[in-house]
Structure 1
């Protein structure tokens, strides 16, 4: 698998002239640990990370620009780079994301989350969300076991009564990706 197959795009990026405050707000707003810094030609010249933002804040960098605190040099990869190589570089250098370039121009970013996405099926994601919904409903008592296959959710466990079965079924059907629900009563052991 190659970078172009899993990279995130369009890329949220900043210019070196962007204020640290604005860049930090963008990191928080988008939930990123870091983002590329590009020049006017969209060429990657640095990375601005949460650590850089904190460094600027603790240094009293009010009014500072990204150029003063960005991390350089930057590891970039091409769209044709194998994701195994990107993963190894990210682990070895403790990188959270790698900018992807084509002819030197930023076209995407591969994050740790992007690398994990192919390993997790949509059924796994649906099961995780459904499990969290049911855990919240039950008050974290761990009442039911959830399995999802091709969108079909099977919820096994003990139900207090028919009303609870209907509520659990309705909650399950409210989760995006659930196409059907089967409830199996299994007494506690």
Structure 2
């Protein structure tokens, strides 16, 4: 399963000069926890998260403020996204394996990751997207694998697909090694399928 199979697209973005308030409104309206930040040419230049926007916006313990005085000088309080965004966003590409994406998210402690293709922002993946793809039941996965195989065979039921614990098994013969390889790839590309087992070539 690849990043392109589960990414959300098109992507809601925000400009560097956008106000923190407008970015917060967009996050709330679109129910997202982070936004890619783009320059005037549309290139990815950063990521801004809920925690970034809350920085300098939510007062700390009032008793502590009384001892230290105002925590934030209103004249110095950040007003634009560019002032609070992460400037070195962790990104991935459409063909990346989802397991690799998940590992990157955990290692870098990020909840969303932009997907970039040849310099263009083409999608975004959240931890929720990964979880949603991974928790689908075997019956649902088997039905989707079967649908793809039947479509490849022009509507004929040449193979039978079953899935157990995320592993797809395709029963039926294959005309040649190329056909066998294509069927295996089709089964593996179904989001949620961890591996695929296929039969042997039955004729030359």
CA distance in 1, matches of 2:20, 2:36: 13
Shift, 1:56, TM fit: 4.0
Q: Which residue of 1 aligns with 2:38?
A: 38
Shift, 1:44, TM fit: 1.0
| Matching of residue 47 in structure 1 with residue 47 in structure 2 | yes
Rate the CA distance shift 1:63–1:97 in 2: closer, same or farther, 3 A.
Answer: closer
CA distance in 2, matches of 1:117, 1:88: 16
Do the aligned residues in 2 keep the contact of 1:99 with 1:109 (CA within 8 Å)? Answer: yes
Q: Which residue of 2 aligns with 1:119?
A: 134
Q: Which residue of 2 aligns with 1:88?
A: 103
Gaps of 5+ in 2: 59-71, 140-204
Q: Which residue of 1 aligns with 2:5?
A: 5
User: Once superposed, which parts of structure 1, at least 4 consecutive aligned residues long, lie more than 2 Å away?
Assistant: 58-63, 120-124
Deviates most, 34-43 or 106-115: 34-43
Q: Secondary structure at the match of 1:37?
A: strand
Question: Which residues of 2 match residues 5-154 of structure 1 at below 5 A?
Answer: 5-58=5-58, 59=72, 60=74, 64-121=79-136
Gaps of 5+ in 1: 125-189
Shift, 1:76, TM fit: 0.8
CA distance in 2, matches of 1:123, 1:22: 42
CA distance in 2, matches of 1:17, 1:67: 6
TM-score computed with the length of structure 1 as normaliser: 0.61
TM-score computed with the length of structure 2 as normaliser: 0.56
Q: CA RMSD in A?
A: 2.1
Q: Secondary structure at the match of 1:26?
A: helix
Please give the per-residue CA displacement for 1:54-77, whole angstroms capped at 9, x wherever unaligned: 114244476711011111211111
If asked which structure has higher relative contact order (CA below 8 Å, sep 6+), I would say 2
